[in-house]
Amino acid sequence: MATIRDVARLAGVSVTTVSNALNRPGRVSAELSARVHTAVEKLGYSPHAAARSLRMRTSGLIGMVVADITNPFFSELFEAVENAAAKAGFSMVLCNSGEAFAREERHMQMLRAQRIDGLILAPTGAISINRAAILADLAVPVALVDRGMVELGYDAVVLDNHRAGALATSHLIEAGHRRIGLINGPEVLRTAADRLQGYRETLLAAGIAFDPSLICDARYRENEAYRAAVEMLRREDAPTAIFATNNVMTIGVMRALADLGLTCPHDVSVIGIDDFPWAGAFTPRLTTVAQPVAAMGKQVLDLLIDRIQGVRTGPGETRVLAPSLVVRESTARPNRRLQAGATHVDTRHSAQGSAAQESAVQGSAVQGSAIQESAASRSADASPIDQNHAG
């Protein structure tokens, strides 16, 4: 059976061009489209033949490849997908790429051998010309989650990351902060780029100059966020608030504050993205921008099953879901300027740290609106702000 690679080789074009010529002809010139269709006819290539064959002999398996299983967001996302899949009569096969494209590629090849009926992919940030070909050769429906890639043309469910960045930044500005550190992921990832843009535009809209020295790429990693926070907070012009753009980096920031002898929110306010289950178990309880993880999981699974069952055909659809602000105790009005060099940090702190507690206290979140939780234990000189925002 001819594959999309065979068509691309005969037509002298890329696999992406073949895919576009067959599914999105408006993106390809008439000359290239003609070459692709000529090759298709010569080879007898049928882009849906393999998929139809698999549907006739379904395995009942759906593969899911996530970027970092140690991140509680992906664990919670998988649980949501698996619950929805079970109700639909499918079983899940979970793989972790660890943000490495080579591992992502090996996992997809393995899943192909397992004759999965469809794939849910949270892609790594790597830009690869091989990804389109590998996905096409799976010959099964594919849906993306968390990180969309429009150029691939698949269904996707993502967060409004620009809005998430704006929500967190606006919350801190309204509390009176003007120097806000941003600990972000690599800008090659659309999630990180959009969160940075939301942060930047919200600062400028409030008349606050954008200061690149307050931005750090910690690669969405806890230890790198820890080091970035230590460096920021030991500066003479240290920020009065830090915005960490995912949950594991928020843990790194809280570890840094503890090792520097600083208290949150009295000395430094902290806000993060992702309302992980034990955010309410921290002291202080963490203010976060929550993603509608359960809705993301269910919607991406529904989109995929519709493709598997032939209910939906044609170009991919991207669904953008709204974040929500969950106000707890880790944000307050700024009280004093930090003194540079006045504290010592133990850089030998273990990778796991002591910030995460084992007991889970789920903070509730209402999509599109902020939630103000009880704060009976707040001190008089560090009253966290009481603001409600639509997500």
* Percent over 70 (pLDDT), the chain: 81
Burial class of 367 by CB neighbour count within 10 A (0 to 12, 13 to 18, 19+): middle
Question: Could you state, in chain order, the average pLDDT of each consecutive group of 10 residues for the chain (391 residues)?
Answer: 82 86 77 89 70 59 94 94 94 94 92 92 79 88 92 93 98 98 93 97 98 96 97 96 96 97 97 85 92 97 94 92 97 70 40 34 34 36 35 35
92, β-bridge pairs: 62
pLDDT of residue 48: 55
Q: Which residues contact 190 (CB under 8 A, 6 or more apart)?
A: 147, 148, 149, 161
* Longest Cα separation, the chain: 78
Integer distance in angstroms from the first to the last C-alpha of the chain? 49
pLDDT of residue 289: 97
pLDDT of residue 391: 35
pLDDT of residue 5: 83
Condensed to tens digits (0 to 9), the pLDDT of residues 200-232 reads 999 999 999 999 999 999 999 999 999 999 999
Tell me the C-alpha distance between 164 and 322, whole Å. 8
Nearest in space to 15 (alpha carbons), one of 105, 135, 117: 135
pTM of the model: 0.73
Give the neighbor-by-neighbor strand order of the sheet with 269-273: 215-217, 180-184, 241-244, 269-273, 287-290, 324-327, 371-372
Q: Is 382 helix (H, G, I), strand (E, B) or coil?
A: helix
The distance of Cα 290 from the centroid of its chain, to the nearest Å, equals 12
Tell me the C-alpha distance between 315 and 165, whole Å. 29
